[in-house]
Chain A
Amino acid sequence: MRLKKLSLSLLAAAMVASIGTPAVAQDKKESDPTKEQFIPFLTYRSGPFAAGGSGTASGGEDYLALLNLRDGGINGIKLVWEECDFGYNTDRGVECYERLKARGLKGAPVIQPWSTGVTYALIERSLKDKIPLVSIGYGRTDATDGRVFPYVFPMITNYWNQSSAKLRYIAQLEGGEDKLEGMKIVNLHLKHPYGNETIPVWNKLAEKFGFEVTHIPVPWPGIDQKSLWLQVRQIQPKYVINRNWGVSCTVPLREAARIGFPRERIIGVWWCGSEEDVIPAGAAAKGYITAAFHAAGRDIPVIQEIFEVVYGQMKGNISAARVGSVYYNRGVVTAIVVTEAIRLAHTKYGVGPIGGEEMQWALENLDITEARIKEIGAEGLMPPTKISCFDHEGGGSVRFQQWDGSKWNMITGWIPPYKDLVREMIEASAAKYAKEKGITPRDCPPA
């Protein structure tokens, strides 16, 4: 009996320990803090959004592993990382940030929350701790104004520019902007800060171009959307914007098939544009279109190299079958951005571990050109990006991909957003935030 109790206690202790201890990638026997660059990974490998979380985290880690295995790190500085799984819960995300922010010789140089909710929750903390908050393809849009948000970087493209690029794409499909007048568009969005984020920009665009937008909120988790699609059927829109996340991205495709709404006229956010979003919908997903800020697939040199080098040495962080999937490649893109910023920081501060303030300078001066993208082997994977103190986004253009029943195909080049309109909104919103928080905006020359 005593032995049984002891065994159960040991089992329980082992389980608690395994839950509480995040994955650590350091090689203990060679550990030298002065020759290591720590990078924290906030992840969600379990729970309702695990397909996205596991893909992005593994893509990022595999790229770091490639640099370590192929180049010995960055300028001889080995990259080490640690995961903290927060299950896409905002409170646990903040807890993970607090746990990881002081790791490494100079603390965390950057934090990527992979959640709009956590991004919002960390804005003030990251400013206080001087740790850049990088949210590529998500997060708070008005943080694009670097004068008000010096430590927040919604890079490559933010949600408002994405939405305006979607409208430009719709105008192209319809034969011109003049065709937008009187058109009906439904914005089917998750009832959540992430889902609500684009309501203002759609209203502004509707006002400018004279189309009618109806916002239909999807209550989380959105597993049954019949009543919402019956409303869509009554409204009879020309296009439906699918701004959901996780299972709520898939359900609209099935519902659309039920009411005979063409999938070619559903335009999804890039968080509804992965293989995991369409495969469960089967034939109902065929023809569905989403925005994208990077390419999917393995026929990209850097992805092939990861496969050969990292997976060739059995050091990969996910099933090899998922290498090249949408979420995986997204993780690679974000790791490229972060590591390019570390390289740049070395040129100013010297080769060694980089801290948050040094990283902030590097991110604000980052210029990933077409030539550099080619050198990295990421040609076709990501767009050029140039960040400045004034503009923390550094791009804004969007491509569109379509599901053919078995894979995503890029169907457009880079489509620019209505940047002037969006920038005006960003500045107004950032100024309001600055006033509320008593922030004096920095003086930055327009990019």
Chain B
Amino acid sequence: MLFALEVAISGLLSGIMYSLVALGFVLIFKASGVFNFAQGAMVLCAALTFVRLLELGVPFWIAAGITLIVMMVLAVVIERIVLRPLVNQPLIILFMATIGLNFFLEGLAQGVWDAQVHGLQLGIDDLPWEPLANSTGMLISIFDLSAALICGVLVASLGVFFHKGRIGRALRAVADDHQAAMAVGIPLQHIWAIVWAAAGIVALVAGALWGQRLGVQFSISLVALKALPVLILGGLNSISGVIVGGLLIGAGEKLAEVYLGPIIGGGIENWFAYLLAMVFLLFKPYGLFGEEIIERV
């Protein structure tokens, strides 16, 4: 029983790490209705920039600041070159544009920096939390607990940002209807640039945390694969949905791998996460917390 609990807790903490990546998708979808296929590449870009600056001897917080600036500049450039010419085009066109952007950013990051593997140490131990290990025998990593805390703070901050103040209202208006928002004088381009910049910040945090665990390398962009079932389950436009989705997917896939995997051949957690998300879709087509779209005909 204790082992099952340990598996579930490990899964919940893994799920939080997936949520962190999924958050970037949600931000952009909320503001523009675009599913940003390039979010994984943005994580790679941010992490590579950050780690290479550290390797060049730039102090930690200055490197983080420069990376944030780079991601914001990237956001403005993306808005100008990719998104602005496509305003009012069908969303599928914008989605296709982000697919192209994904491959471009992957190539750009590796071209500007390199395709090597870089170690990244954030100063957070990836070892079991001893008080818990001594009292219960469960080995839960300090790193995972710290990541969960960071993710919680980030989500709360973004939640406030999106729901309070003028920018928050403008963001929601743009998300609701581009043309109507523009008609009442909301600067769509500015809003998009702000949202892509916010997604860049999320990408840096996700890239740094995943980078400590995996090393900063191309594979970091593949964490996006883990974020997709989280989005499907939680809802594409809900920040709180991302957290709940991440928790459910993380715990579900780990429990399935440990208890179902050995019976059906193992290595099932990747597809099981998608299966779980699809089962939820049958009952909640917009995800658990997704906004239901009602169209009048």
Listed in ascending order, the chain A residues whose CB lies under 8 Å from chain B are 45-48, 50-51, 54, 191, 215-221, 223-224, 226-228, 230-231, 233-234, 246-247, 250-251, 254, 257-260, 276-277, 279-282, 284, 319
**Quick one: which of A46, A226, A228, A246 contacts B219, CB cutoff 8 A?**
A246
- Residues on B with C-beta less than 8 A from A280 are 117-120, 214-217
Q: Say whether B107 faces chain A, with CB atoms less than 8 Å apart.
A: yes
Chain A residues near B226 (CB-CB < 8 A): 223-224
A220 vs B222: C-alpha distance when bound (angstroms) = 10
A230 near B266 with CB under 8 A, answer: no
The answer to whether B254 touches A50, judged by C-beta atoms less than 8 angstroms apart, is no
Having A191-B267, A221-B225, one finds 8 other A-B pairs with CB under 8 Å, namely A47-B218, A223-B213, A223-B219, A224-B226, A227-B257, A230-B10, A247-B222, A280-B217
B179 contacts partner chain A, Cβ-Cβ < 8 Å: no
Q: How far is the CB of B85 from chain A (nearest CB, A)?
A: 11
The B118-133 residues at the A interface (CB cut-off 8 A) are: 118-121, 126-128
For B266, the chain A residues whose CB sits under 8 A away are: 191, 215-217
Contact residue among B6, B107, B115, B267 (Cβ-Cβ distance under 8 Å from A217) = B267
List B contacts of A254 (CB < 8 A).
Answer: 126, 213
**Which 7 pairs across A and B sit closest by C-beta, in order of nearness?**
A280-B215, A217-B267, A50-B115, A227-B257, A247-B219, A191-B267, A276-B117
Q: Which residues of A contact B270 (CB under 8 A)?
A: 219-220
Given A191-B267, A247-B215, are A228 and B128 also a contact pair (CB < 8 Å)?
no
Contacts of A191 in B (CB 8 A): 266-267
- Residues in chain A near residue B261, CB distance under 8 A: 227, 231
Chain B window 206-237, contacts with chain A (Cβ cutoff 8 Å), 1 for yes, 0 for no: 00001001111111001101100000000000
Q: Which residues of B contact A233 (CB under 8 A)?
A: 139
- B24 at the A/B interface (Cβ < 8 Å)? no
- The reply on B7 being an interface residue by CB < 8 A is yes
* B14 interfacial contact with A, CB 8 Å: yes
Q: Provided the pairs A247-B215, A280-B119 are in contact, do residues A46 and B257 lie with their beta carbons within 8 angstroms?
A: no
Sort chain B's interface into a size bin.
35 or more
Q: How far is the CB of B286 from chain A (nearest CB, A)?
A: 27
B214 lies within 8 A of A223 (CB): yes
Cα separation A299 to B155 with both chains bound (whole Å): 52
**Cβ distance B223 to chain A, nearest Cβ, rounded Å:** 6
- B128 to chain A: which residues have CB within 8 Å? 258-260
Decide: B214 and A46 in contact? CB cutoff 8 A.
no
Asked if B276 is at the interface of the complex by the 8 Å CB criterion, the answer is: no
Residues of A within 8 A of B213 (CB): 223, 251, 254
Residues on the B chain within 8 Å of A221, using CB: 219, 222, 225
Contacts of A276 in B (CB 8 A): 116-117, 215, 217
Residues of B within 8 A of A284 (CB): 126
B254 contacts A227, C-beta separation under 8 Å? yes
Chain A residues closer than 8 Å to B269, beta-carbon distance: 219, 224, 227
Nearest chain-B residue to A50 (Cβ)?
B115
Which single member of B139, B215, B218, B223 contacts A46 (CB below 8 Å)? Answer: B218
Cross-chain contact A51 with B10 (CB below 8 angstroms)? no
Closest Cβ neighbor of B215 among chain A residues: A280
CB distance from B224 to the nearest CB of A (A): 11
A sample of 8 cross-chain residue pairs with beta-carbon separation below 8 angstroms, ordered by A number, consists of: A50-B116, A51-B116, A215-B266, A226-B11, A227-B7, A230-B7, A234-B3, A319-B114
User: Is chain A's binding surface mostly helix, strand, loop or mixed?
Assistant: helix
A48-B218, A48-B222 as given contacts; A279 in contact with B119, CB under 8 Å: yes
Contact A228 B257 (CB under 8 A): yes
Secondary structure of the B side of the interface? helix
For B265, list chain A residues within 8 Å (CB): 217
Are A48 and B219 closer than 8 Å at their CB atoms? yes
* Pair A219/B267 contact, Cβ less than 8 Å: yes
Could you say which of A46, A218, A223 contacts B110, with CB atoms under 8 Å apart? Answer: A46
Taking the closest CB of chain B, its distance from the CB of A429, in whole angstroms, is: 22
The distance in angstroms between the C-alpha atoms of A215 and B114, with both chains bound, is: 35
Q: Which of B11, B223, B266, B268 has the most CB of A within 10 A?
A: B266
A223 touches B267 (CB 8 A): no
Across-interface contacts of B141 in A (CB, < 8 A): 258
Q: Which residues of B contact A226 (CB under 8 A)?
A: 10-11, 14, 254
Closest to A190 in B: B267
Measured between beta carbons, the chain B residues less than 8 angstroms from A251 are 213-214
Which of B115, B119, B254 is the one whose CB lies under 8 Å from A51? B115
Interface centre among B128, B219, B271 (most CB of A within 10 A): B219
In angstroms, Cα B223 to Cα A221, docked, is 9
The answer to whether residues A279 and B7 also contact, given A223-B226, A228-B257 and a CB cut-off of 8 A, is: no
**B187-220 toward A: CB 8 Å interface, digit per residue (1/0)?**
0000000000000000000000010011111110
- Chain B neighbourhood of A319, CB < 8 A: 114
Q: Does B78 contact A (CB under 8 A)?
A: no
Q: Which of B6, B115, B120 contacts A54 (CB 8 A)?
A: B115
- Write the nearest CB–CB distance from B275 to chain A, whole angstroms: 13
Q: Which residues of B contact A257 (CB under 8 A)?
A: 126-127
**Chain B: minimal CB distance from A282 (Å):** 6
With A46-B115, A51-B116, A247-B217 known as contacts, the answer to whether A223 contacts B222 (CB < 8 A) is: yes
Report B-chain residues with C-beta under 8 Å of the C-beta of A223.
Answer: 210, 213-214, 219, 222-223, 226
User: Quick check: B120 and A227 within 8 Å, CB to CB?
Assistant: no
Cα–Cα distance between A50 and B271 once the two chains are bound (Å) = 26
**Minimum distance in angstroms from A251 CB to a CB of chain B:** 7
Report if A260-B139 is in contact (Cβ < 8 Å); known contacts: A231-B258, A246-B219, A282-B121. Answer: yes
Rounded to whole angstroms, the CA-CA distance of A328 and B116 in the bound complex is 13
- State the Cβ distance, A345 to closest chain B Cβ, in Å: 35
Contact check, B214 vs A247: say whether CB atoms are below 8 A apart: yes
